[in-house]
């Protein structure tokens, strides 16, 4: 059945949560309502809502014992696994601020985020696919790049020697089990809950501050689920599409999540069949990868009924038909809007272009260069006003003032248009921020990093089309006299220092850049000359 009404009483007479709700109250109510229902499936094991709630309490209490206080920042830097979800809710049960971090971050950009938010504790894992999270964090500790960092909790710690301030997940649980302390979750929906870092138009990432009220957008997303749904997850949990769109909406709806630490399309089919998944959540390229290994007569996907994907696109209707989905949904949003502000859900053989209409309470405008609304069908900049819009950027009041007007309109920096009926279509970015595999990348940020290369005189980074990732970075480089710069040079310089998705996929040597009269590089001209 569809999940319980979100106000008043449900059909069974149980009192349900009213909006706005705090994140912890959402989990507590779900665990009380259906304690034995499955919540997390991972590597052959299952955690019920009650088991997750109990683990959350132990971890929150243990953090209190270690001296972590409400209001302090707790970072999560690990791949998709149950410990991620437990730590996510433990932070909010403690009344602390959750800071999810991209697993692709490396020393320089990881240290920046941890230092910028003043993280007191970090949850991570020992290693994954040959990469050591512990070694990189030790490097940051040795260099004293994050002076406020006091605790590093390591999951999947078997076989790894840990010394303070590092400790294992198992040891932390034991501290929580033996303590008589009690956590004190935030009780005001207006309180800050999450800080999610996203690349913007400046040279450094910005932390979007999301309140509990902002994150109540999960109630909107939960409307596409039925109680008891099993959701196959390909979104990374560190992104708003993971920790918010997927995890929080699943708790509200009473759905379970099927997790993979690292996405593998062949294994995905096995898991979808094993857990009788009903919903697929992910970027369209993930669905395409699964479709590429799917036998057209396969019964592995017979339980699937709905796909939540971005971008949806009319051109993907044959793909949805191959999976025999009944419906496919999509939407438009960003980290700064706590996920989608619009939503479309249609039968796969009868859906229209666009990313849907705003949910109740959300207002979307499209404006021209003069700031006035453009006519339906005309492309302009997308503005959003909603209770979902972030509180602002952490420690960046000037960037906040630039992004959000005094009357509450968020300038998304995206281009799009509205139909007469109010359906939004998204076109792309209005500045040099591009999305690769669903992640925002700032060309200016990558340029700032690459200027440290000893062979480089100057560099301009532009987003260019890519069949698999949507967009990738192209670095136009001006070498120093007598030098040559290859793709290999750039990869070696970047590897291990910045996130892999920020590393340019193309390197083009040029003698000079086309510039405006005030010296600004004409990036659109560079892209047009070499890629269009």
Contact 251, 26 (CB under 8 A): yes
Q: What is the count of structural domains for the chain?
A: 3
* The pLDDT value given to residue 520: 67
Together in a domain, 409 and 272: yes
pLDDT digits (tens, 9 = 90+) for 46-93: 999 999 999 999 999 999 999 999 999 999 999 999 999 999 999 999
Q: Are residues 109 and 254 in the same domain?
A: no
Please indicate, yes or no, whether residues 222 and 164 belong to a single structural domain of this protein. Answer: no
Cβ–Cβ under 8 Å, residues 396 and 410: no
Please name which of 190, 175, 176, 194 lies closest in space to residue 92, comparing C-alpha atoms. 194
Whether residues 425 and 437 fall in one domain? no
Phi-psi region of 482 (alpha: psi -120 to 50; beta: other; left: phi over 0): left
Longest alpha-carbon distance in the chain: 78
Q: Which of 184, 203, 227 is the last residue of a domain?
A: 184
Residue at 13 is within a domain: no
- The pLDDT-based confidence of 17 (bands split at 50, 70, 90) is low
Residue 63 in any domain: the answer is yes
Report whether pLDDT(169) > 70: yes
Tell me what the mean pLDDT of segment 345-352 comes to.
Answer: 87
pLDDT in tens, 413-423: 888 899 999 99
Joined tokens for residue 392: 């602002």
CA distance 392 to 210: 8
Lowest mean pLDDT among 81-90, 196-205, 276-285: 196-205
Please indicate, yes or no, if residue 227 is contained in any of the structural domains. Answer: yes
Q: Would you call 127 exposed, middle or buried from its count of C-beta atoms within 10 A (0-12, 13-18, 19+)?
A: middle
Same domain for 451 and 420: no
Same domain, 253 and 336: yes
- The model's confidence at residue 24, banded by pLDDT at 50, 70 and 90, is very high
Domain encompassing residue 116: 50-184
| Residues above pLDDT 70, as percent of the chain | 94
Q: Verify that 273 and 337 share a domain, yes or no.
A: yes
């Amino acid at each position: 059945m569809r999940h319980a009404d979100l106000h008043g009483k449900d059909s069974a007479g149980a009192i349900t949560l009213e909006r706005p709700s705090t994140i912890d109250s959402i989990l507590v109510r779900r665990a009380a309502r259906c304690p034995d229902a499955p919540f997390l499936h991972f590597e052959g094991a299952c955690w019920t809502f009650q088991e997750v709630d109990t683990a959350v309490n132990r971890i929150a209490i243990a953090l209190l014992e270690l001296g972590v206080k409400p209001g302090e920042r707790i970072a999560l830097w690990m791949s998709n696994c149950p410990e991620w979800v437990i730590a996510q809710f433990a932070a909010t049960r403690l009344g602390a601020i959750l800071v999810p971090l991209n697993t692709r971050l490396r020393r320089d950009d990881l240290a920046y985020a941890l230092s910028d938010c003043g993280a007191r504790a970090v949850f991570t894992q020992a290693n994954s696919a040959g990469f050591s999270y512990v070694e990189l964090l030790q490097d940051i500790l040795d260099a004293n790049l994050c002076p406020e960092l006091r605790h590093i909790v390591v999951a999947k710690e078997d076989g790894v020697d840990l010394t303070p301030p590092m400790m294992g997940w198992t040891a932390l649980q034991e501290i929580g089990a033996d303590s008589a302390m009690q956590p004190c979750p935030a009780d005001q929906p207006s309180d800050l809950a999450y800080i999610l870092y996203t690349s913007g138009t400046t040279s450094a990432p910005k932390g979007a501050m999301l309140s509990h009220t902002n994150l109540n957008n999960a109630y909107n997303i939960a409307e596409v689920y039925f109680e008891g749904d099993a959701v196959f997850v390909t979104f990374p949990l560190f992104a708003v599409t993971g920790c918010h769109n997927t995890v929080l909406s699943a708790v509200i709806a009473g759905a379970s999540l099927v997790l993979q630490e690292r996405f593998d399309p062949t294994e995905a089919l096995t898991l979808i069949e094993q857990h009788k998944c009903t919903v697929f959540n992910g970027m369209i390229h993930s669905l395409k990868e699964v479709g590429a290994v799917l036998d057209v007569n396969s019964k592995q996907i017979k339980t699937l009924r709905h796909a939540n994907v971005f971008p949806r696109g009319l051109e993907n209707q044959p793909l949805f038909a191959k999976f025999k989905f009944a419906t496919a949904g999509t939407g438009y949003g960003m980290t700064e809007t706590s996920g989608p502000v619009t939503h479309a859900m249609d039968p796969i053989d009868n859906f229209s272009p666009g990313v849907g209409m705003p949910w109740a309470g959300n207002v979307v405008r499209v404006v021209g260069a003069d700031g006035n609304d453009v006519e339906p069908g005309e492309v302009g900049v997308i503005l959003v006003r909603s209770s979902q819009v972030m509180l602002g950027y952490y420690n960046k009041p000037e960037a906040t003032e630039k992004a959000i007007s005094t009357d509450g309109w968020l300038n998304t920096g995206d281009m799009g248009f509205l139909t007469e009926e109010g359906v939004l279509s998204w076109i792309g970015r209005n500045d040099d921020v591009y999305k690769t595999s669903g992640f925002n990348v700032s060309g200016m940020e990558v340029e700032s990093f690459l200027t440290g290369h000893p062979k480089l005189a100057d560099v301009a980074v532009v987003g260019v089309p890519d069949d698999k990732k949507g967009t990738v970075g192209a670095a136009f480089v001006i070498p120093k006299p007598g030098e040559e710069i290859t793709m290999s040079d750039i990869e070696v310089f970047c590897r291990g220092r910045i996130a892999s998705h920020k590393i340019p996929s193309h390197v083009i040597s040029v003698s000079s850049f086309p510039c405006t009269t005030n010296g600004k590089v004409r990036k659109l001209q560079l892209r047009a000359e070499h890629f269009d």
